[in-house]
């Protein structure tokens, strides 16, 4: 076990040009729900049995009220950048016009970040779709992609030059698959016939938003954030290898190949017709709009075996596991980055999320999360290995700045490098936060 984080002095990651940041998302930290329109996660939380502890995002970390002290906290960690997301239902009225009060809230945060020389990485969609749009079909309705473009257009105009980097979407896989196919995330729709349709409209929304970002914000870096769970076969058998390749196309390549190759993976032809997205002429050109960066989120890998009925079957992950049950396997991080770099003509990459849920305990005012420090060390090493193998990685964001609402897990799982006492809203920097701060300041 190590209580410090370090990287070789000659590593790109030891240079002050390499961006270190922390990341959050609006619904997970803000609260302040009464001053915005409802979103699909409000509805999902209100549906019994959907969120493990029956909690919701009404208050969360009360960042809506405590944002000034939180920006001070971010600054105290010495980070170069802060990745936040904008709550669409806070800044856009049902009419499609800006809600100035909501916009002002973010303008104040962005101005404070600028004053402190902290780069703002803004994500436009981190899963909090306005409920009135879901009532109209949500991401199954092509129209939602154009609503998103309108939102991106208006908000990027309002933000002017305050933003260093825009990500259109965070993890469209989660929105599409978990939300519209597995039904374990909002809006909780279940059925194989829905996932790829939702995915297509999300990717279309991304491309349409890129058009307006390029026009309104030509000086920011504009791109997308994708999550990857690299797929490994359980054995060397041809059947397991083929099943794993199918799973990889279905869960991972599905979201990146259209962006860089303007087409879906070939397995599309093997999917039943009723599961196909409706692709209109010109869609793939819109989706494959050139980007300034690719955001990569990595947490774990998945292992598959062949299955007669479902093509692939994911086996239980072997130890070591984090508190959310995800295998700790940093080698997959290096292999992922190297393989993406080989497959696609990538722009510079930011690691926009990486981190671990651990069973933290606040004892005498201290959270000694050495297990998380170890996770960060091995994963920073993994990124460094990928850089040494030729991948251009320009930055790394820890997920998350602080403990927060972990979606279907509610507040039971803690991903922060800062501990949040949800009764008092007191924040305490964990050992991992102190180690991250020291890594950054010792560059």
Binding stretches for ligand IFM (CB under 6 A): 25, 28, 171, 227, 297, 353, 399, 406, 415
- Contacts for 123 with CB less than 8 Å, ≥ 6 apart: 25, 83, 84, 85, 86, 166, 167, 168, 169, 170, 225
Q: Which is nearer to ligand IFM, 126 or 289 (CB)?
A: 126
Rounded least distance, CB 439 to ligand IFM, Å: 21
Q: How far apart are the first and last CA of the chain?
A: 22
- DSSP for 310-331? TEEEEPPPPSSB-TTS-B--TH
Backbone angles phi, psi at 97, to 5 degrees: -85, 160
Catalytic annotation present for 134: no
Total length of the chain: 443
- Contacts for 309 with CB less than 8 Å, ≥ 6 apart: none
Partners of residue 228 on adjacent β-strands: 298
Q: Which is nearer to ligand IFM, 384 or 404 (CB)?
A: 404
| Lookup: tokens for 182 | 């597995």
| Lookup: tokens for 142 | 């092509």
C-alpha–C-alpha distance, residues 432 and 371, integer Å: 9
Catalytic annotation present for 266: no
Rounded least distance, CB 326 to ligand IFM, Å: 9
Active-site residue, from 30, 134, 335, 353: 353
CA angle 148, 152, 155 (to 5 degrees): 130
C-alpha–C-alpha distance, residues 4 and 11, integer Å: 17
Of 270, 299, 153, 258, residue with least CA distance to 213: 153
Q: Which is nearer to ligand IFM, 217 or 297 (CB)?
A: 297
Pairing assessment for the beta strands 302-307 and 311-314 based on DSSP bridges: antiparallel
Active-site residue, from 30, 171, 335, 406: 171
Q: Which is nearer to ligand IFM, 26 or 149 (CB)?
A: 26
Rounded least distance, CB 96 to ligand IFM, Å: 26
Q: Which is nearer to ligand IFM, 154 or 379 (CB)?
A: 379
Rounded least distance, CB 400 to ligand IFM, Å: 6
Rounded least distance, CB 268 to ligand IFM, Å: 26
**DSSP single-letter state for residue 177:** I
Q: Which is nearer to ligand IFM, 298 or 304 (CB)?
A: 298
Rounded least distance, CB 399 to ligand IFM, Å: 6
**DSSP single-letter state for residue 358:** -
Residue nearest to ligand IFM (CB): 25
Chain CA centroid to CA 181, Å: 19
Q: Which is nearer to ligand IFM, 78 or 410 (CB)?
A: 410
HSE at residue 37, side-chain half, CA atoms within 13 A, is: 21
293 and 209 in contact (C-beta within 8 Å)? no
Rounded least distance, CB 323 to ligand IFM, Å: 11
Residues with a known catalytic role: 171, 353
């Amino acid at each position: 076990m190590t209580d410090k984080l370090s990287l070789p002095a000659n590593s790109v990651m030891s240079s002050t040009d390499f961006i270190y940041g922390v990341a959050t998302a609006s619904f997970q930290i803000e609260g302040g729900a009464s001053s915005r329109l409802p979103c699909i996660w409000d509805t999902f939380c209100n549906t019994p049995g959907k969120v493990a502890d029956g909690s919701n995002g009404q208050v969360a970390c009360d960042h809506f009220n405590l944002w000034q002290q939180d920006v001070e906290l971010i600054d105290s960690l010495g980070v170069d950048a802060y990745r936040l997301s904008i709550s669409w239902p806070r800044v856009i009225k049902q009419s499609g016009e800006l809600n100035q009060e909501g916009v002002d809230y973010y303008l104040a945060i962005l101005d404070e970040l600028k004053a402190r020389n902290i780069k703002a990485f803004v994500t436009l969609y981190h899963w909090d779709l306005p409920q009135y749009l879901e009532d109209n079909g949500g991401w199954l309705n092509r129209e939602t992609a154009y609503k998103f473009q309108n939102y991106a257009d208006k908000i990027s105009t309002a933000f002017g030059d305050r933003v260093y980097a825009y990500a259109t979407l965070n993890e469209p896989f989660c929105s599409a698959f978990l939300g519209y196919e597995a039904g374990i995330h909002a809006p909780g729709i279940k059925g194989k016939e829905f996932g790829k349709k939702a995915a297509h409209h999300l990717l279309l929304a991304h491309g349409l938003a890129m058009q307006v970002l390029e026009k309104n914000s030509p000086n920011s870096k504009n791109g997308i954030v994708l999550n990857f769970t690299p797929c490994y076969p359980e054995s060397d058998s041809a059947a397991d290898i083929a099943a794993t390749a199918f799973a990889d196309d279905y869960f991972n390549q599905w979201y990146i190949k259209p962006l860089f190759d303007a087409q879906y993976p070939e397995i599309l032809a093997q999917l039943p017709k009723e599961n196909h997205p409706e692709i209109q002429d010109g869609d793939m050109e819109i989706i494959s709009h050139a980007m300034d960066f690719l955001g990569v989120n990595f947490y774990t890998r998945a292992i598959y075996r062949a299955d007669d009925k479902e093509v692939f079957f994911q086996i239980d992950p072997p130890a070591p596991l984090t508190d959310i049950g995800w295998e700790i396997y940093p080698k997959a991080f290096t292999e992922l980055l190297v393989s993406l770099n080989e497959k696609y003509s990538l722009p510079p990459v930011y690691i926009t999320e990486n981190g671990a849920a651990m069973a933290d305990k606040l004892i005498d005012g201290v959270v000694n999360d050495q297990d998380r420090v170890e996770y960060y060390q091995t994963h920073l090493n993994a990124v460094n290995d990928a850089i040494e193998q030729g991948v251009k990685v320009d930055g790394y964001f820890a997920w998350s700045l602080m403990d927060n609402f972990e979606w279907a897990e509610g507040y039971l799982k803690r991903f922060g490098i800062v501990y949040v006492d949800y009764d008092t809203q007191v924040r305490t920097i964990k050992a991992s936060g102190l180690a991250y701060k020291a890594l950054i300041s010792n560059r």
